[in-house]
Amino acid sequence: MALKATIFKADLSISDMTRNYYHDHSVTLARHPSETDERMMVRLLAFALHARDALLFGDKIGNADEPDLWQRDLTGAIDLWIEVGQPDEKDVRKACGRARHVFVYPYGGHAPTVWWNRVKGTLEKLANLSVICLPADASQALAKLVQRTMKLQCTIQDGQAWLTDGSGTVHIEFTTLRDAGR
């Protein structure tokens, strides 16, 4: 018998001073048994960083052709493709061929640096790719905010984000490894 995903609910209030985006979202997250709290919260943070009404979580379980998050335009073309972690170089190139903008959010200690040094020779040539790294202590602190039902506030400004649940706040200062000039 296959293990089922665990469902998490988040009421997320976003104040993005960079994009002048101020909105509340009720988000449902399905965490596969093989996914960690840390990865799930990085997915939620990526949602907050790019939040729009049409931004959706992908169904990666059993479907490798979908991203962690994505948005299609009114014609059905993929406008935004977001991956969390250290995806395979081939998958990133494929995503860049399918989507107008691709973002990768590597996290987890020294692993993002090792991954980027291995793939940057090829991926730096992709004009629509941005790679934004999260510090290890921040992604680990995000995992400590996890509850089955969460009320979170996210403030974004000048390459930084603050995510709070009212009792604790996580400060994230991003490191841009590759900017598509967006």
Q: Share the mean pLDDT of the chain.
A: 93
Question: What residue ranges of the chain have pLDDT lower than 70?
Answer: 1-2, 60-64, 181-182
Does residue 121 belong to any structural domain of this protein?
yes
Rounded CA-CA distance 47/26 in Å is 12
Rounded CA-CA distance 182/101 in Å is 9
Is 100 in contact with 181 (CB distance < 8 Å)?
A: no
Nearest in space to 58 (alpha carbons), one of 99, 21, 93, 19: 99
SS3 116: helix
Does residue 135 belong to any structural domain of this protein?
yes
Does residue 173 belong to any structural domain of this protein?
yes
For residue 83, count other CB atoms closer than 10 A to its CB.
24
Handedness of CA 118, 62, 38, 129 (dihedral sign): positive
Give tens-digit pLDDT for 97-143.
999 999 999 998 889 999 999 999 999 999 999 999 999 999 999 99
State the alpha helices, DSSP H only, in 53-135: 89-98, 111-123
Is 157 in contact with 166 (CB distance < 8 Å)?
A: no
Does residue 1 belong to any structural domain of this protein?
no
Does residue 117 belong to any structural domain of this protein?
yes
- CA terminus-to-terminus distance, the chain: 45
Does residue 164 belong to any structural domain of this protein?
yes
Question: What pLDDT does residue 53 have?
Answer: 87
SS3 2: coil
pTM (2 d.p.): 0.94
Question: What pLDDT does residue 4 have?
Answer: 85
Rounded CA-CA distance 156/153 in Å is 10
Domain ranges, residue 168 = 6-178
Does residue 84 belong to any structural domain of this protein?
yes
Does residue 71 belong to any structural domain of this protein?
yes
Question: What pLDDT does residue 150 have?
Answer: 97
Q: What is the dihedral of CA 13, 35, 73, 21, to 10 degrees?
A: 20
CATH number of the CATH domain containing 93: 3.10.640.10
The number of folded domains in the chain is 1
